[in-house]
């Protein structure tokens, strides 16, 4: 097996409460309301986005490893050159998206799967991704419970979603916010690029995203249309940088990248 192109961090197995509580959802709504378009946060469509983070439920995970950073354009290009990955769905020589140290975006879920397989891993499950971001203590953000606009490459809930107050109007080189790392040193789990995970996106008739029962190493639904995207992006405001925030996508996007995980024995 070829060695991975990016450093992986061992995440010890353990238990945590996955998903959002009623208090978490109230705080998410308040965070949304502080944005420039905050008056829209009470609309049904936005409420549904947050409700899909619930219910909070107990999850136990086996140990696994996860990439310290998002997969870079340079690493993904090597997979393309090897014939194992399709080219990104973007114009060549666009410095906003194809600089080697930027996260690899404009790739769909199947392309992310192909890269991780080629690189000796797999996409993380949604539960693994959230545990890496929140830890057993259930942090609100990868770095802790208090939001800081200087610890991630975020955007704004506004007509112009870009926000350069963090130093970047668009994508940033992977690992540009070391102070926003988790206690294990995992970077970019909030902002920069949203991240594909293995699970299909699904909600029940009440709009909830999960089963309330306790689970061990959950894999999510086996079939679906859209896949889950985690972590927010450079075009998302603070409410979408929380560790429980979820999104979905049908295909490649300039705001969605990925990182890989691997089983450990």
The reply to whether 53 falls in a domain is: yes
Provide the pLDDT for residue 1.
38
> Average pLDDT of 56-78?
98
Residue 68 pLDDT > 90:
yes
Q: What is the pTM of this model?
A: 0.96
Angle at 235 between CA 230 and CA 134, to 5 degrees: 30
The reply to whether 64 falls in a domain is: yes
Q: Domains in the chain: how many in total?
A: 1
The reply to whether 17 falls in a domain is: yes
DSSP 80-130: HHTTSSPPPSS-TT-TTT-STTSB--S--HHHHHHHHHHTT-BPPPHHHHH
The reply to whether 98 falls in a domain is: yes
The reply to whether 233 falls in a domain is: yes
Q: What is the CATH number of the domain that holds 171?
A: 3.90.1580.10
Strands 215-216 and 227-230: unpaired
Contact between 169 and 163 under an 8 Å Cβ cutoff? The reply is yes
The reply to whether 166 falls in a domain is: yes
The reply to whether 1 falls in a domain is: no
Residue 5 pLDDT > 80:
no
**In which residue are the tokens 């965070």 written?**
31
Cis peptide before 55 (omega within 30 of 0): yes
The tens digit of pLDDT for each residue in 220-246 reads: 888 899 999 999 999 999 999 999 999
Provide the pLDDT for residue 64.
98
The tens digit of pLDDT for each residue in 114-170 reads: 999 999 999 999 999 999 999 999 999 999 999 999 999 999 999 999 999 999 999
The reply to whether 253 falls in a domain is: yes
Query: How many other C-beta atoms can be found within 10 angstroms of the C-beta atom of residue 167?
Result: 10
In terms of Cα–Cα distance, which of 228, 238, 207, 202 is closest to 41?
A: 238
- For residue 186, give its domain range: 8-263
In terms of Cα–Cα distance, which of 103, 104, 188, 107 is closest to 153?
A: 188
What is Dmax (Cα atoms) for the chain? 52
């Amino acid at each position: 097996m070829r060695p991975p192109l990016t450093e992986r961090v061992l995440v010890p197995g353990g238990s945590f409460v996955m998903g959002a509580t009623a208090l978490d959802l109230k705080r998410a709504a308040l965070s949304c309301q502080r944005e420039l378009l905050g008056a829209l946060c009470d609309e049904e469509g936005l409420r549904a986005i947050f409700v899909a983070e619930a219910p909070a439920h107990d999850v136990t995970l086996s140990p696994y490893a996860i990439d310290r950073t998002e997969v870079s354009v340079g690493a993904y290009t090597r997979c393309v050159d090897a014939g194992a990955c399709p080219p990104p769905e973007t114009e060549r020589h666009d410095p906003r998206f194809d600089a080697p140290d930027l996260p690899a975006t404009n790739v769909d879920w199947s392309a992310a799967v192909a890269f991780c397989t080629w690189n000796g891993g797999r996409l993380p499950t949604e539960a693994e991704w959230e545990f890496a971001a929140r830890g057993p203590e259930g942090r609100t953000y990868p770095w802790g419970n208090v939001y800081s606009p200087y610890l991630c490459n975020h955007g704004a809930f506004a007509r112009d979603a870009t926000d350069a107050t963090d130093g970047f109007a668009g994508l940033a080189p992977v690992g540009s916010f070391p102070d926003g790392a988790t206690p294990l040193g995992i970077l970019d789990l909030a902002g920069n690029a949203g991240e594909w995970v293995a699970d299909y996106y699904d909600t029940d008739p009440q709009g909830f995203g999960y089963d309330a029962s306790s689970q061990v190493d959950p894999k999510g639904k086996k079939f679906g249309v859209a896949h889950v995207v985690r972590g927010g992006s450079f075009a998302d405001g603070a409410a979408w940088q929380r560790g429980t925030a979820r999104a979905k996508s049908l295909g490649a996007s300039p705001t969605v990248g990925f990182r890989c995980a691997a089983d450990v024995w």
